[in-house]
């Protein structure tokens, strides 16, 4: 049922007041790219919304030794314009595929995280970088790994009154190659039926370390660690990785929905591994 009446939006003075309002039943609101759609469609019916998009405590991108602290209300566009986008190419590759430019100006990394969609493009680099989520709540602040924060589609480890405050993004050691691609049914504003992000460390043409993260093929973003381990020692070319493409297809746990069948998603996941090998070997030869 679509919601037709107005909904109250409360603007807290600071993070402490925001936490109190959320503990009283309010729903956090930052960019609103998902919240407004779901409230209007009747999927969500909160008593009121708590606008946290301009709280100073949730702003800023701070580069430090070993990583970067990103405020939860920093928009995708702000991140893409920041020095962090050059320092972390995987972040730039993934965020630049999110929606249209206007959506990237409004949507936030914290909101993408809190929505916990298996198709969330912004989640792929967070899993690959092994990010940590910093939460603020009535009992104070705590920090959890991103893989422990997201529990399932739309489900997170947020406790009563807790808000995502920031994310800690560690800088990877060395200079891994970065890859991101998503496949969808149409080009414009595509929601992925399957996506793959990767960080690969090479010695010569041989993979010495690998991280993979897949979207839209399991209840949460998937790190196929057995496939990651199997990549080590393999040369970076599609022929050498073809057997692992089948292994990756079997490792995913997709569903069938209006956008694609489970079998199609399995096939795409395997093909994306081969596309990764082709694309990164070409990048390496050019660089």
Q: What is the pLDDT of residue 58?
A: 96
| pLDDT given for residue 184 in this prediction | 74
The pLDDT of residue 284: 74
Give the predicted TM-score (pTM) of the model. 0.92
Q: How many CB atoms lie within 10 A of CB 249?
A: 21
Pick the CATH number of 177-286 from 3.30.390.50, 3.90.950.10, 3.40.190.10, 3.90.1150.10: 3.30.390.50
The CATH classification number of 56-169 equals: 3.30.465.10
Whole-number Å distance between alpha carbons of 258 and 265? 12
Q: How buried is residue 238: exposed, middle or buried, by Cβ count under 10 Å (0-12/13-18/19+)? A: middle
Token output for 78: 């702000």
Q: How confident is the model at residue 86, as a pLDDT?
A: 94
| SS3 assignment, position 224 | coil
Taking the C-alpha atoms of residue 25 and residue 32, their distance in angstroms, rounded to an integer, is 17
Mean pLDDT by 10 residues, the chain (287 residues): 67 96 92 75 82 95 96 96 96 90 89 84 95 97 97 92 97 96 65 88 96 91 96 96 94 75 87 96 74
3-state helix, strand, coil in the chain (%, to 5): 35, 25, 40
Angle at 43 between CA 42 and CA 49, to 5 degrees: 80
Rounded to whole angstroms, the Cα distance separating 105 from 71 reads: 15
Domain ranges of the chain: 9-51, 56-169, 177-286
How confident is the model at residue 264, as a pLDDT?
A: 84
Phi then psi for residue 6, to 5 deg, are -75, 155
The reported pLDDT for the residue numbered 188 is 43
The candidate with the shortest Cα–Cα distance to 177, out of 212, 147, 145, is: 212
9-51 — its CATH code? 3.30.43
CA 64, 120, 101: angle at the middle one, nearest 5? 80
User: Residue 187 gets which letter from DSSP?
Assistant: S
Farthest-apart Cα atoms in the chain, separation: 62
């Amino acid at each position: 049922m679509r919601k037709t009446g107005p909904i109250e939006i409360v603007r807290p003075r600071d993070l402490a007041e925001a936490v109190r309002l959320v503990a009283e039943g309010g729903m956090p609101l930052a960019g609103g790219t998902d919240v407004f759609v779901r409230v209007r469609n009747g999927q969500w019916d909160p008593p009121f919304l708590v606008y946290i998009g301009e709280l100073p405590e949730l702003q800023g991108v701070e580069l430090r030794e070993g990583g970067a602290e990103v405020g939860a209300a920093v928009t995708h566009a702000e991140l893409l314009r920041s020095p962090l986008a050059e320092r972390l190419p995987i972040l730039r590759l993934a965020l630049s595929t999110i929606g249209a430019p206007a959506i990237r100006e409004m949507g936030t990394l914290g909101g993408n995280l809190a929505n916990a969609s298996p198709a969330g493009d912004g989640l792929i680099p967070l899993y690959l970088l092994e990010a940590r989520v910093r939460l603020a709540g009535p009992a104070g602040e705590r920090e959890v790994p991103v893989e422990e924060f997201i529990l399932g589609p739309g489900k997170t480890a947020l406790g009563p009154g807790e808000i995502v405050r920031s994310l800690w993004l560690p800088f990877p050691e060395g200079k891994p190659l970065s890859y991101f691609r998503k496949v969808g049914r149409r080009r414009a504003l595509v929601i992925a039926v399957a996506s793959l992000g990767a960080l690969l460390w090479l010695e010569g043409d041989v993979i010495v370390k690998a991280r993979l993260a897949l979207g839209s093929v399991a209840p949460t973003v998937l790190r196929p660690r057995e496939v990651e381990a199997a990549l080590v020692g393999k040369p970076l070319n599609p022929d050498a990785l073809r057997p692992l493409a089948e292994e990756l297809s079997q490792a995913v746990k997709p569903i069938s929905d209006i956008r694609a069948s489970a079998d199609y998603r399995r096939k795409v996941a395997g093909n994306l591994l081969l596309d990764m090998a082709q694309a990164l070997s070409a990048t390496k030869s050019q660089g």
